[in-house]
Amino acid sequence: MLRVEGIHTYYGSIHALKGVSLRITEGEIVTLIGANGAGKTTTLMSICNVTPVREGKVSFRGGDITRLSSDRIVAQGITQVPEGRMIFPVLTVEENLLMGAYLRRDREGIRRDTEKVFDLFPVLRERRRQHGGTLSGGEQQMLAIGRALMAQPRLLLLDEPSLGLAPIVVENIFEVIRQINLAGTTVLLVEQNAQMALSIAHRGYVLATGEVIMEGTSEELLNDPKVRAAYLGED
């Protein structure tokens, strides 16, 4: 479904990604794990052409999307939930969701998808007329995911969905990610909580200083001594 081939991305003179390659098959949850500054977020931003790729290629469903504008990439079926959630604080919950559907014109479909989001996150139904900025961190993360789903993505990119959230909220968010995947959406997950990410992912890649240093099934990575020591806090 997605193929990233040897991409190099820079921030000015800083060489952030150094030949990153990965692939995602339709229906998978794939996770990127690694320390802060490893290049995980930059990989997502490069896929969406928010941070342009200098060398290499990104293909989605057989087509080259490396140089497409970000809105055209959304139209192709890739949507990102950014780190820090980035909801619109002065808009209501419902207005935030409608912003996720800005490329769509099917009013009835938008109404149905809004109800689907409310079914996934019942608390958002209760808060539908509340301003986004008044929600808790967990509720804002739910809203950010719901807003992304309103674009009807084939591939959902999630950047640090557990960041700053209480453990019980994190469990809820990850269960919803699993449900979203089971309903047919492919997921690429960037996550600092490697244990949690690998518990729901099919496969994973380990990034360090802008390079993929390891890949495998989730089970293989969970059982690898180097991964356990470096990212799971185990000796």
Tokens 């952030």 sit at which residue? 16
Cα–chain-centroid distance for residue 50?
Answer: 14
Considering the domain boundaries, does residue 148 fall inside one?
A: yes
CA distance 206 to 217: 11
Eight-state DSSP code of residue 130: S
Average pLDDT of every residue of the chain: 94
The pLDDT value recorded for residue 55 is 97
Q: Is residue 19 part of a domain?
A: no
E strand or H helix that includes residue 190? strand 186-190
pLDDT tens digits for range 143-178: 999 999 999 999 999 999 998 888 999 999 999 999
pLDDT of residue 234: 57
Contact 160, 189 (CB under 8 A): no
Instruction: Give residue 109's domain range.
Output: 25-50+69-231
8 Å CB contact between 181 and 26: no
Looking at the domain assignment, is residue 149 inside a domain? yes
Domain count, the chain: 1
In a domain, 64, yes or no: no
Tokens of 183: 């309903």
Report yes or no on 161 lying in a domain. Answer: yes
| Residue 18 within any structural domain of the chain | no
For the chain, 235 residues long, give each residue's pLDDT as a single digit of tens: 999 999 999 999 999 999 999 999 999 999 999 988 899 999 999 999 999 999 999 999 999 999 999 999 999 999 999 988 899 999 999 999 999 998 888 999 999 999 999 999 999 999 999 999 999 999 999 999 999 999 999 999 999 999 888 899 999 999 999 999 999 999 999 998 899 999 999 999 999 999 999 999 999 999 999 888 888 765 4
Which CATH number do you get for residue 218? 3.40.50.300
Does a structural domain hold residue 135?
A: yes
Asked whether residue 206 is assigned to any structural domain, the reply reads: yes
SS3 96: helix
Tell me the pLDDT tens digit for each residue of 43-70. 999 999 999 999 999 999 999 999 999 9
